[in-house]
Amino acid sequence: MLNDRERRVLARIERELTASDPDLVRLFRSARPSRVSGPTLLLALGLAVMVLGSALVSVPIAVLGMIVAGCALVAAYRAPIGFRPA
């Protein structure tokens, strides 16, 4: 939590930014963080399968995890995630 002084400083910075670059402020107000996407979940699944395969000392399971993680990275490269305009 911010104390009163920190809140005042932050409010002053926001006012100065609004005055100096209103286009940037508008851009950030219209942007919202994206939800967790398919590639992110796929990567997490691939990593979990790799760890499981390693823990079970099962090469085929670990290799399957690597393949799933690789597919996730390719999918993330083709459809990058991040802030998107609302």
Burial 5-31, CB ≥16 within 10 A → b, else e:
eeeeeeeeeeeeeeeeeeeeeeeeeee
Q: How far apart, in Å, are the Cα atoms of 62 and each of 19, 50, 66, 67, 73?
A: 55, 4, 6, 9, 17
Report the pLDDT value the prediction gives residue 42, as an integer from 0 to 100. 86
Give the pTM.
0.48
Per domain, the residue ranges of the chain are 1-32, 33-81
Sequence-ordered alpha helix ranges (H) in 31-86: 38-55, 59-78
Report the pLDDT value the prediction gives residue 85, as an integer from 0 to 100. 47
Report the pLDDT value the prediction gives residue 86, as an integer from 0 to 100. 46
What's the CA gap between 86 and 72, in Å, rounded?
Answer: 25
What's the CA gap between 54 and 49, in Å, rounded?
Answer: 8
What number of residues does the chain have?
86
The pLDDT profile of the chain, 86 residues, written as one tens digit per residue, is 788 999 999 999 999 999 999 888 888 777 766 666 777 888 888 889 989 988 888 889 988 999 999 988 888 788 755 545 44
